[in-house]
Amino acid sequence: MPIRLSERRPEVSPDRLLSECVPPPRFAGVRFDTYRPNPDEPSQSEALAVLRQRGLALAEPRRERSVWSRLRGAKALSASKPGFYLDGGFGVGKTHLLASLWHESAGPKMYCTFVELTNLVGALGMRPAVEALSAYRLICIDEFELDDPGDTVLISRLLGQLVEAGVELAATSNTLPDKLGEGRFQATDFLREIQGLAAHFDVRRIDGPDYRHRGLPVAPEPWADGRVEETAASIAGASCDHFVDLYRQLAELHPSKYGALLDGVTTVGITDIRELTDENVALRLVVLADRMYDRDIPLVAGGVPLDRMFTPEMLKGGYRKKYLRALSRLIALAHVGMPPAS
């Protein structure tokens, strides 16, 4: 009998949230030496070289700061900016490079997505979060995005205090730091916070085509719902849910629990996928897609093709980059779970 994600009620403690702040299984084995720059995209080799250099510095044991340097704040540490920011499109290897930097660095260190970081602060509270995270030498933040004014103020305060404590930052995003929030809320009203965030980072642009779709440009043909159910029933640890049941369940859970929702799941089956019209539902499914991709969980799906799950209006709107990333990842997982007949 397949697992029903729609019937699970996971609970996640703050301690678990902290302990899971490491690169996901998909990136547990990556290193700088395993990154293969596209020879037609010199920015990839340049980013690799710069991050290798930063990794060498972070591999050295951490030096304790003097009382005077702590009083003077982060400016006493280095003339360079405390953060490094990789900006680029989907599937060009930004996360590979970020995880490689984490692996090369001496601890204490932390790795999380932007959503996981905001969830962690929400679970701990700002002051306990600052106290806990100030102990890290390096914090890597994947998929840095600002979706609302609350996130902007929260992250601005958090990173400002962490930089003051001497924490080094590394981040990836599909948006330049001074453009965060554009198209999603009135970013001009929060320009000071956004500029403050941007000031923490040296930015490196990395270009190239989405490697996940080289040779896989379109979504696989959806299966009949009966085939999805039968396949899920035949795989140990597989889940199978009706699309509506699944997204209703996601509405009942805090996004910090979506990873725990997938505990022990080897394949995700979804029947009767439909085109979405509610942006709240769509954004929750983006987070679930990220957690599935982190865990490298194959997908088997029925209903409309995956590339029709988000409306054309959504793919042109302020969250288009989120939706395109989710499609890129879901299609990659579907090609694993639904290989073409040989």
- Structural domain contains residue 18: no
Last residue of a domain, which of 209, 230, 251?
Answer: 209
Confirm whether 19 is domain-assigned: no
The answer to whether position 324 is within a domain reads yes
One domain, residues 48 and 134: yes
How many distinct structural domains can be found in the chain?
Answer: 2
Structural domain including 63 reads 31-209
First to last CA, the chain: 28
Answer yes or no: is 11 within a domain: no
Boundary residue ending a domain (191, 209, 227) = 209
Q: What is the pLDDT of residue 64?
A: 60
Which tokens belong to 191? Answer: 């320009």
The tens digit of pLDDT for each residue in 105-150 reads 998 999 998 888 888 888 788 999 999 999 999 999 998 776 656 6
What is the CB neighbour count within 10 angstroms for residue 72? Answer: 13
* Whether residue 328 sits in one domain with residue 184: no
- Check whether residue 205 and residue 216 sit in a common domain: no
Q: Which CATH number goes with the domain that contains 104? A: 3.40.50.300
Residue 71 burial (CB count, 10 A): 9
Between CA 303 and CA 237 the distance in angstroms is 22
Written as tens digits, the pLDDT of the chain (342 aa) is 899 999 999 988 888 888 889 998 889 999 999 999 988 889 999 999 999 998 998 998 766 655 444 444 444 344 467 788 888 776 678 889 999 999 999 989 999 988 888 888 887 889 999 999 999 999 999 987 766 566 677 888 888 899 889 999 888 876 654 455 454 434 444 345 556 666 777 888 888 765 554 444 588 999 999 999 999 999 999 999 999 999 999 999 988 889 999 999 999 999 999 999 999 999 999 999 999 998 999 999 999 999 999 999 998 887 887 888 899 889 999 999 998 765
Q: Is residue 219 in some structural domain?
A: yes
Q: Which of 182, 209, 236 is the last residue of a domain?
A: 209
Residues 146, 148, 153, 159, Cα dihedral to 10°: -20
Q: Is 9 among the domain residues?
A: no
Note the pLDDT of residue 119.
80
Same domain, 197 and 287: no
Q: What global pTM score does this model have? A: 0.76
DSSP secondary structure of 3-36: B-GGG------HHHHHHT-S--GGGTT--GGG--
In a domain, 311, yes or no: yes
- 257-269 residue pLDDT tens: 899 999 999 999 9
Residue 13 placed within a domain? no
Q: What is the pLDDT of residue 206?
A: 84
Distance of CA 35 to the CA centre of its chain: 19
